[in-house]
Structure 1
Amino acid sequence: MNKWMIYGANGYTGELIAREAVRRGMSPVLSGRNAEKIRPLAEELSLEFQAFPLNDQAADHLKEIDLVLHCAGPFEITSALMIEACLSAETDYLDITGEVSVFEHTHSQHERAKEKGIVLCSGVGFDVVPTDCIALKLKEEMPDATELSLGFDSDSGISPGTFKTMIQGLGSGSMHRKNGVLEAVPIGKQRRIIDFGRGSRSAMGIPWGDVSTAFYTTGIPNISAWIPMPKAQLYSARLMGAAGPLLATDWVKEKLEKQVEKRIKGPDSDLRANSPAYIWGEAKNRKGVIKVARIQTANVYDLTVYSSLEIVCRLLEKKIEGGSYTPAGLFGSNLVESLPGSGTFEIDSFFPY
């Protein structure tokens, strides 16, 4: 029988995943860095648990583990360490990151993963399953696309882990992909009007993970990512970008993270149940033809639970050739449509005069 682990099960999202896994009759091993934080949840759910740090000996704890779902952020700090442990132990690796640098590192390990016969797949949660699926759907609809824009709109609330990840990225600005190459962009500089699925809104470009992953999923060379942002807040974002060097200091980040630990608890079940996400994508070819795709999904945190467990189940049931994959690259564009709370793709076409 396959054995799998949730590392970071004591975090907001890790705990949601653990509880849903048990509700479905699954028995993950719960793990993290601190035994005192893991033990109460493991005992409540009647699950096995382990506690170990992510260091050179981490692989020793994975010898009997077939798959790790890594939920302990900030992933820019923790992901590479867990990937090394999984490569050493020959254990499949998944995570729920949304960080461009993590996606790029995971992709760089493709040949090593192929040699070991293990799957590496970063971003099996809301970051980036629905947008990755829309990217592939648009590529299927428009094989000659040269430009791809992706985005989402949701009143989802925020978890402590997500907030800490945002803090780690303070001062780094935005990012897009141009002619196949990742390129930094000042935060607030990218602006446009987008209908994500509930009316046209002012939007801002962000360094979302798809500027990395959608390139590997589709091969489209020019990619940007967007969220709705009122014009007044766009101005504030540009001012924040100007303060980048100060915001990027360890002192500022440490102070902000301490405030997160005190004040941020994460959205409750009622908020999640009443806050769906609206996913949007737009592809364009050299002739000026445009394809737009939209889909509504469950709340961003609920979708992370559903998508990560769906991918865990599929990997445990079927052996896949080793290497680094994106979620849609593994299981196709219809993966998101199969998840609880998701609708179906709506596709529109626009032609130049």
Structure 2
Amino acid sequence: MKWLIFGAYGYSGALIAREAKARGLTPVLAGRNPDRLRPLADELGLDWRAFALDRPDDLDGGLEGIGLVLHCAGPFSRTSAPMIEACLRNGAHYLDITGEIDVFEHAHAQANRARLADVVLCPGVGFDVIPTDCVARVLADELPDATHLLLGFDAASGLSPGTAKTAAESAGYGGRIRRDGRLVAVPLGHAPRRIDFGRGATTAMTIPWGDVATAYYSTGIPNIAVYVPASRRAIAAAKIADYLRPLLRTGAVRAMLTGLAERYVTGPDLAARERGSTYVWGEARNSLGEVRTARVKTASGYAVTVTGSLAVVQHLLETSVAGGSYTPSLLLGPRFLETLPGTDGPIVVSDQSI
């Protein structure tokens, strides 16, 4: 099966392309800018195709003969829908490395179309959301009648330009959680609490992470929130910023913030990626007060994105999978994270029932 990386010259796309070549894989490199594609393709000795996303005919031509797309061009809120449509039209599996809630929701809404087209749709095959999605599934297996699920991670790997632009784009829209099966908007800095992610208790706050979409489809648990460490000062700043959300949503401010991200954010270097690690945590609770807590330490976020996305690619290249909408843990199982380099042992679950 011939496969393609779209956004191959971006920070994450280039990391994935180089690792794919090192593994003996031969993706077609693709993106909108031929002047940025050609040098990378020449360096790696790979074929390349330049095409944009705003013309269906161009997309269809770009996907001619392609059986799988790994989409790495963000912000995915702008780019994923046309690529998903093209994959459904052309019978190509669709993967991406997003963490954006609305992208997951859109992909899930195409589940019936994907089944009819025999196309796999599986967004979020990077750090967003492989580690937390696997922790969610493990906890759901341990406590099948769970009604509430909290997830979180403690990472310090830095931001890529694409991630920074996505954060700038979404800054004005506040937080989100899942409550009684529905996505609910909440203020920035919502519901702070103390959490031990794996290296001691710290204050934390909720963020609008992709698991409030994906973990619901992976587990069926109706109440979900995602946490990251945040100092009391950071939580206070988030609550102040919540009042500025109308301003942050304006086109001029969003353009300024994304421009600053493009200009000044370069992404972590190799040393930072290799020495970085991530502590992932989850807590499930049922109506009887029974609680299960899970923890695991894994590699840095960008390392997980590279190895995780390529593991999913290789699985689909080697395995026949029925079309439909998937999360990473539904596609490769709840212990998938444990197979990735840098994961330090199994996901450990403890009973902390009241």
* Aligned twin of 1:42: 41
* Aligned twin of 2:69: 68
Gaps of 5+ in 2: none
Q: Does structure 1 residue 231 correspond to structure 2 residue 232?
A: yes
* Aligned twin of 2:32: 33
CA distance in 2, matches of 1:190, 1:350: 21
**1:2-28 Cα shifts (integer Å, max 9, x gaps):** 110000001000000000001111110
**1:59-91 Cα shifts (integer Å, max 9, x gaps):** 222120010000000000000010001001010
| 1:347 aligned partner, one-letter code | V
Q: SS state of the match for residue 113, structure 1? A: helix
- How many Å apart are 1:189 and its aligned residue? 2.2
Aligned identity (percent) is: 51
Q: SS state of the match for residue 212, structure 1? A: helix
Q: Does structure 1 residue 56 correspond to structure 2 residue 56?
A: yes
Gaps of 5+ in 1: none
CA distance in 2, matches of 1:257, 1:216: 31
CA distance in 2, matches of 1:243, 1:12: 30
Does the 8 A contact of 1:294 with 1:345 survive in 2? yes
CA distance in 1, matches of 2:145, 2:336: 23
**1:213-258 Cα shifts (integer Å, max 9, x gaps):** 0000000010000000000110000111110000111101111222
* Aligned twin of 1:347: 349
Q: SS state of the match for residue 126, structure 2? A: coil
Alignment of 1:1-353 (within 5 A): 2-54=1-53, 55-57=55-57, 58-343=59-344, 344-352=346-354
| 1:116 aligned partner, one-letter code | A
Q: SS state of the match for residue 171, structure 1? A: helix
- How many Å apart are 1:323 and its aligned residue? 0.5
| 2:353 aligned partner, one-letter code | F
CA distance in 2, matches of 1:336, 1:261: 31
Does the 8 A contact of 1:60 with 1:89 survive in 2? no
| 1:56 aligned partner, one-letter code | P
Does the 8 A contact of 2:134 with 2:336 survive in 1? yes
| 1:349 aligned partner, one-letter code | D
The runs of at least 4 aligned residues of structure 1 exceeding 6 Å deviation read none
TM-score under structure 2 length normalisation: 0.98
Q: SS state of the match for residue 169, structure 1? A: helix
CA distance in 1, matches of 2:152, 2:84: 28
Does the 8 A contact of 2:4 with 2:29 survive in 1? yes
TM-score under structure 1 length normalisation: 0.99
CA distance in 2, matches of 1:60, 1:84: 13
| 2:308 aligned partner, one-letter code | S
Give the root-mean-square deviation of aligned CA atoms. Answer: 0.7
CA distance in 1, matches of 2:348, 2:140: 14
Q: SS state of the match for residue 26, structure 1? A: coil
For these two proteins, the number of residue pairs brought into alignment is: 351
CA distance in 1, matches of 2:276, 2:167: 21
Does the 8 A contact of 2:165 with 2:262 survive in 1? no
- How many Å apart are 1:199 and its aligned residue? 0.6
CA distance in 1, matches of 2:330, 2:142: 16
CA distance in 1, matches of 2:324, 2:92: 12
Q: SS state of the match for residue 272, structure 1? A: helix
CA distance in 2, matches of 1:100, 1:147: 19
